[in-house]
Structure 1
Amino acid sequence: MATLEDPIEIGGVTIPNRLYRAPLLECAGNGPDAVDALIDDLDPAAESGVGLVCQGATIVRGDGGCAAPGMTRVHDPDFVSRLSRLTDRIHGYGSRIFVQLEHGGLRSMETWHAEYRREHPDLEQLAVSRPPWQLRLLDRLGFLSYDPHVLSTDEVYELAADFGRAAASAVDAGYDGIHLAGANMGIVQQFLSPFYNRRDDEFGGSPEARLEFLAVVRDEIRERAGDVPLMTKVPAETPAPPAPVVRRKLSLEDGVEIARRLEKIGYDAVVPVQTSVVWDMSIVRGEYPERAWNNEGLQAEYDAAFGGAARKRLVSLANRIQSLRYDFEPAWNADFCRRVRERVSIPVLAEGGIREREEMDQLLGGANGESFTSGTPACDMVGMARPFYAEPKLGARLLESGTGGETSERTRVLCESCNNCTVPQVTGAPGICRTPDVLRARGELEREGAYERPES
């Protein structure tokens, strides 16, 4: 059975251990300080010993497609070439770095961000198909604003080529692999999902056809970037609103079949995640972020993002209701990952609610020979996202504890899954922990030297 400290190979690239920093919003943008901002965010994880660092969702086009303010774009080869400073830093610690490529489609800011829409009236909302009736109803009621441009067949191929061009530039800048944002309601999930995809060309109409976009993206990346490791998130839309509100969605069985077919297409690893058909708290399960919503310094920016105080209150109310449904659950993707791992031979990466070293050992199958679920190991690597906001050098604690052979209080992450780090990001605020108790605890650990790596 694997341990967290064991190396693993993804698409011919050796990762020194099985702990990874999952993609997060860095909010670095593309300005003159963007590279330094990315280094500030990602360098600590690699310095702490994390084997794989995943740069958060980065947009493959120069206009549109950003799901949140401050997302970095990788359409410009000149800008991407400057990111070699970042990749060199990560490699200097012996770690590897993948970049996550994305286009938001109907989840983009040109759909939901009121001020951004006013400032960019010419931007089109790109859609896989005409929005389903549920979203059109929300449009008529004034909760959302849809005026989409449905991609033609030729435009789908051109979008796939943009992914290939971005991947080629990233490889030239020293990135070790490509991670596609295949869930969280981005354009890839919209192609995969029967909720969104009602196309009648080669990119829709059957489960196999809905996978064709990922097949073309794979071909474009292979043609332009070579045999770079390629992985993607694989969605299952089980937490989506129940029938009769949403009848067409991806089940766990659908997600397993998608992963199996992706291996045949030529993907090198998959990240199975349970998500929703809409942007909600299914991907950040935990507490209602009351402190963030009540932050007086952000009220004007919330109003600008959501289109006024009344809409802001509606979004906050929806956030509160979702927090009741999507309460925190340890390793909530474990069973999905295990099902996928039983059907594929490529590495399966698990993330979502992993908070203790003991859980990691169980997911990898190394704790008393049992997995976190049952029968077989649930995954081949384990990752976390929000805990790295709370502890940028978290890897040093987790990996150090693995050599000691015992699980202690020091091997539990400090993150409380309070989500007060996530809501401010709709304003472009950086992803940092703002929870006083967590910050005090981190300070104590820093004074104790808990984030210092032992001498080799």
Structure 2
Amino acid sequence: MTVSRLEDPLDIGRVTLPNRLYRAPLLECAGTDSNTVETLVSELEPAARAGAGLVCQGATIVADEGGCAAPGMTRVTDPEFVAGLRELTDRIHDHGSKLAIQLEHGGLRSMETWHAAYRDANPTLQQLAVSPVPRPLRLLDRLGFLDYDAHVLDTDEVYDLAANFGRSAAMAVDAGYDIVHIAGANMGIVHQFLSPFYNRRSDEFGDGPRFLEVVYDEIRARAGDVPVMTKVPAETAAPPGLGPHLSEDDTVVICRRLADYGYDALVPVSGSVVWDASIVRGSYPARAWDDERYQSGYESAFGGRLRSRLVALGNRVEAWWYDFDPAWNAELCRRVRDAVSVPVLCEGGIRERGEIDRLLGDACDAVGMARPFYAEPELPARLLGRDANPETRVVCESCNNCAVPQVTGAPGVCRTPAVLRAAGEFRKSGAYDRPGKPVDDVPTDPEG
């Protein structure tokens, strides 16, 4: 049996990645304006310059309005705007890396559900829903934490939504993106089609994977033979009493079906039926919640000081419930890899080179990291460099201080002094240097 190494190339469809390390999708907070390209270049190019085989642009929205799950998400619906992203794709390709765009619609997770100030500013926006809102979420609506005015898609509208994915994919491919990545987890609209917790339809889309098949057909018809990959969720971390939900067995069956249908790669992930800390396992981000700079933003997002504090309390409980578990998706990925013949990508809690080496060729064909890039934008240089060894480890502490302020529109950056100091020491020692690749300044909290 051939042993896969991190430095080995990998074929995803017709695209060959130069190695098997990738920057997983993160929220870049780039928006959709004249500064978007500059922001995306500053966020994504360091990973390519440092040698990542694949760089994934975070979730980008396929609708003209609504559908954003968090502030600062980019929309890919205007051909002129998307054409301008060629500057980004060229910059990534200059370093030999490949670039994927992750396409998304938030559905019931959209800001028009949970962000109080956004909802007040956009009173006519309705959430798109696969089926009527599940009863546990309606309870949160009655308690005032969420606000649902959902529009359940009819069959023709589901086809129209799938066409939006196809149109956005075609524009992205024209702008030079190498791979289309469908956001199929984390409570986005695709996840909601797949999940029996949300999907109670009686038409053909009551068969959840059917939506991903139609999306695939739309991409193929509009964007040609660009490689297409998707996340596929298992809802094994669902809180007790919330169901029905997707088991690991269900996820393996869905992955086998999607691979047979033509998907070029799969990213199995375990999480919940709702958007919670199961997808960002780690410590309770006390520093971020207590930071006075963000208090007014939290109150604006959650509808007041009391509700903001209750959300923080819920985050504390979730952080205890979903304690950090290294490589928490590995076993699910291993099961899927045994069932399909396309590459399986693994992410979620992978923090060490030795761990990567154990996963490759066993649980997966490529390994991704997300939050560690907030602290080390040029992390691949350390993991792929000649001095890398099994003990080479990221400086990220999975404390989540990077992520929580994003609900206020703040950028995703590391805000933990000890972690930033560790990254700074590596930078001073030249650990991020590559021949001919200038190194940026040490990452710092841009808000001071």
TM-score grouping bracket, smaller chain normalisation = over 0.9
Matched residue SS, 1:267: coil
For 2:435 and 2:323, the matched residues in 1 are separated by 37
Partner of 2:373: 388
Q: 2:190 aligns with which of 188, 201, 206?
A: 188
Structure 1 counterpart of 2:389, which letter? Answer: E
User: Which of 199, 212, 218 is 1:214 aligned to?
Assistant: 212
| Shift of residue 424, structure 1, vs aligned partner | 0.3
* Aligned twin of 2:445: none
Alignment of 1:71-90 (within 5 A): 71-90=73-92
1:356 and 1:342 map into 2 onto residues whose CA distance is 24
The equivalent position to 2:405 in structure 1, one of 406, 416, 424, is 424
Other-structure match for 2:415 = 434
**CA deviation digits over 1:181-229, x for unaligned, max 9?**
000000000000000000011100xxxx211110000000000000100
| RMSD, aligned α-carbons | 1.0
- 1:329 positional shift: 0.6
Q: Distance in 2 between matches of 1:175 and 1:139?
A: 39
The alpha-carbon deviation at position 412 of structure 1 amounts to: 0.4
Question: How far apart, in 2, do the equivalents of 1:277 and 1:247 lie?
Answer: 8
> Quick one: which amino acid aligns to residue 254 of structure 2?
I
CA contact (8 A) 2:113 2:146 kept: yes
Q: Secondary structure at the match of 1:291?
A: helix
The 2-side partners of 1:267 and 1:406 are apart by 34
Instruction: Identify the residue that residue 370 of structure 1 maps to in structure 2.
Output: none
Q: Which residue in the other structure is 1:412 paired with?
A: 393
Checking the alignment, whether the CA contact within 8 Å between 2:15 and 2:178 is kept in structure 1 is: yes
**Aligned-pair CA distance for 1:143:** 2.1
2:65 aligned partner, one-letter code: D
**What is the number of residues matched between the two proteins?**
435
What secondary structure sits across from 1:221 in the alignment?
helix
The runs of at least 4 consecutive aligned structure 1 residues that moved more than 4 Å come to: none
Q: Which residue type is aligned with residue 434 of structure 2?
A: R
2:327 and 2:348 in contact (8 A); partners too: yes
For residues 364-398 of structure 1, what are the alpha-carbon distances to aligned partners after superposition, in whole Å with 9 as ceiling and x for unaligned? 14xxxxxxxxxxx0000000000000100000000
TM-score with structure 2 length normalisation? 0.96
TM-score, structure 1 normalization: 0.94
Q: How do 1:18-417 and structure 2 match up within 5 A?
A: 18-204=20-206, 209-242=207-240, 245-365=241-361, 377-400=362-385, 403-404=386-387, 406-408=389-391, 411-417=392-398
For residue 274 of structure 2, what is the amino acid of its counterpart? V
Instruction: Please list the CA deviations of residues 335-366 of structure 1 after superposition, one character each: whole Å capped at 9, or x if unmatched.
Output: 0000000000000000000000000000014x
Query: What is the Cα deviation at residue 144 of structure 1?
Result: 1.4
Residue of structure 1 equivalent to 2:446: none
Rounded Cα–Cα distance in structure 2 between residues aligned with 1:434 and 1:143: 27
Hey, what's the Cα distance between the residues in 2 that align with 1:234 and 1:453?
35
Q: 2:62 and 2:32 mapped to 1: Cα distance? A: 13
SS at match of 2:164: helix
Residue 445 of structure 1, aligned match among 420, 426, 430: 426
The secondary structure found in structure 1 opposite 2:212 is helix
8 Å Cα contact 2:256/2:336 also seen in 1: yes
Q: In 1, are the aligned partners of 2:353 and 2:389 still within 8 Å (CA)? A: no
- Residue 255 of structure 1 aligns with an amino acid whose one-letter code is T
Distance 1:440 1:5 in 2: 28
Question: Structure 1 regions of 5+ residues with no counterpart?
Answer: 366-376
Distance in 2 between the 1:240 and 1:261 partners?
A: 24
Q: What do residues 214-246 of structure 1 show as CA deviations (whole Å, max 9, x unaligned)?
A: 00000000000001000000100000012xx22
Q: Tell me if structure 1 keeps the 8 A contact 2:402–2:415.
A: yes
CA distance in 2, matches of 1:58, 1:404: 36
1:86-109 Cα shifts (integer Å, max 9, x gaps) = 000000000000000000000000
**CA separation in 2, counterparts of 1:406 and 1:57?**
32
Partners of 2:274 and 2:435 lie apart in 1 by 44
The Cα of 1:142 is off from its aligned counterpart by: 1.9
The alpha carbon displacement at 1:404 in A equals 4.8
Cα drift, residue 30 of structure 1: 0.8
**SS state at 1:56 partner:** strand
CA distance in 2, matches of 1:425, 1:246: 27
Secondary structure of the equivalent of 1:342? helix
Residue-by-residue CA offset, 1:404-439 (whole Å, 9 max, x unaligned)? 57334xx10000000000100001111100110011
1:14 is paired with a residue of what secondary structure?
A: strand
Q: Separation in 2 of the partners of 1:320 and 1:405? A: 35
Structure 2: gaps spanning 5 or more residues? 438-448
Equivalent-residue separation in structure 2 for 1:195 and 1:49 (angstroms):
40
Q: Which residue of the partner structure matches residue 2 of structure 1? A: 4
Deviations 1:257-311 (A, max 9, x none): 1100001111000000001111100000000000000010110111000010111
Deviation at 1:64, TM superposition (A): 0.3
Identity in percent: 69
Task: Determine helix, strand or coil for the equivalent of 1:301.
Answer: helix
Q: Is the 8 A contact 2:25 2:102 kept in 1?
A: yes
